[in-house]
Amino acid sequence: MKISTKMVAAGLLSAGLMAPTAVIAQSGGSISLATGGTGGVYFPLGGAMAEAWTTEIDGLTVTAESTGASVVNVRLIQSGESELAMVQNDIANYAFNSDEMFSGDAALDNNLGMAMLYPELIQIVTLAESGIQSVSDMAGRSIAVGAPGSGTEANARQILSAFGISYGDISEQFLPFGEAVDALRDGRIDAAFLTAGIPTAAVIDLGATHNVSIVPIEPDKGQEIADMWPFYSTITIPAGTYSGVEQDLPTVTVMAMIVASADLEADVVERMLEVLYSDSTLERLCNTHVRGCDITLASAQEAMPIPLHPGAEAFYARN
């Protein structure tokens, strides 16, 4: 459903002097925030953001919508069906540049950067008895690489290629992670790629009945991957994240971010960022999900893959 977002900010905002409780006068002030599935991280954090914005900005109603996540969300922004969306930064990059699953499409350039949020780690999940201790060991094995056309599938293909492995070298299975977990349990696959914030509930559940192992990506190889695709960065999965993970494990990560429609007024985006990075909202997000504790103003522009929305540019210029 296309939602009108014609809004006019009060004069204090344009002067950079708006107090936290000041009113934004608007006509049809309803905004749709596209998130993800109800069992993921996007939906609860998006709901907490929507609640904060609705509470703190008079006359504005923000609704968090459950969706098919990143790939769907950038299309919702482009079509005007949503004004804000939570997406992976690599997907935003592909959409803006007509790459990967958007190859052949016109650039989805109505998507503009608003804020970086938290890491979404590449997790290569296997069982301890598989004998897979490095990505190189995956050659000749049955590997779930994500759903066709998904961000996870692109991540899997890129990481395998960094180790000199193509789909011709493995038995690739195009399974979303929920189905991949069942296949791991049943012994039908040897490992599965997952891109998600940690800890991931499905991995925790698998670890309750099986000896889970996470395949590391060593820092030098991780940096090589980041050099090839700048939306990646190196990161560590801490010991104790999952049952059986007894030491810190290096891997790579993409980032969750918020994109805003180019049609959304700059003053509105600027005010929403002011609320997002207030102490009360950051506390709300941290209390909602552990990944909410990663959201900081200091990291708001790190690994930003697309141009900033004018309202975001204005906000960061004065903060």
Of 235, 254, 273, which residue is a domain's last?
254
**Which structural domain range is residue 92 located in?**
7-118+257-317
How buried is 70 (Cβ within 10 angstroms: 0-12 exposed, 13-18 middle, 19+ buried)?
A: buried
Report pLDDT for 20.
33
Residue 82 lies in a domain: yes
Tell me whether strands 111-127 and 171-173 are parallel, antiparallel or unpaired.
unpaired
* CA–CA dist 239, 249 (Å, integer): 7
Looking at the fold, whether 247 and 125 belong to one and the same domain comes out as yes
Residue 1 lies in a domain: no
Question: Contact 115/258 with Cβ under 8 angstroms?
Answer: yes
* CA–CA dist 22, 90 (Å, integer): 36
Looking at the fold, whether 66 and 148 belong to one and the same domain comes out as no
Residue 154 lies in a domain: yes
Looking at the fold, whether 208 and 276 belong to one and the same domain comes out as no
Looking at the fold, whether 43 and 141 belong to one and the same domain comes out as no
Please report which helix (H) or strand (E) contains residue 33, including its range.
Answer: strand 30-34
Longest pairwise C-alpha distance within the chain = 64
Q: How confident is the prediction for the chain on average, in pLDDT? A: 90
Query: Which range is least confidently modeled, 6-15, 62-71, 228-237, 267-276?
Result: 6-15
* DSSP letter (8 states) at residue 106: P
Residue 303 or 221, more confident: 221
| Residue 7 pLDDT greater than 90, yes or no | no
Looking at the fold, whether 173 and 249 belong to one and the same domain comes out as yes
What phi and psi values does residue 257 have, to the nearest 5 degrees?
A: -150, 170
Of 233, 254, 275, which residue is a domain's last?
254
Query: How much of the chain is helix, strand and coil, in % rounded to 5?
Result: 40, 20, 40
Residue 235 lies in a domain: yes
Looking at the fold, whether 11 and 112 belong to one and the same domain comes out as yes
Give me the number of domains the chain comprises.
2
| Residue 25 pLDDT greater than 50, yes or no | no
What's 110's domain CATH number?
3.40.190.10
Residue 2 lies in a domain: no
Of 238, 254, 270, which residue is a domain's last?
254
* CA–CA dist 47, 61 (Å, integer): 12
Rg (CA), the chain: 20
Please report which helix (H) or strand (E) contains residue 111, including its range.
Answer: strand 111-127
Residue 311 lies in a domain: yes
Residue 128 lies in a domain: yes
Question: Contact 314/270 with Cβ under 8 angstroms?
Answer: yes
Looking at the fold, whether 279 and 240 belong to one and the same domain comes out as no
Q: What is the pLDDT of residues 194-206, one digit of tens each?
A: 999 898 888 999 9
- Cα distances (Å, whole numbers) of residue 249 to 70, 143, 217: 26, 20, 8
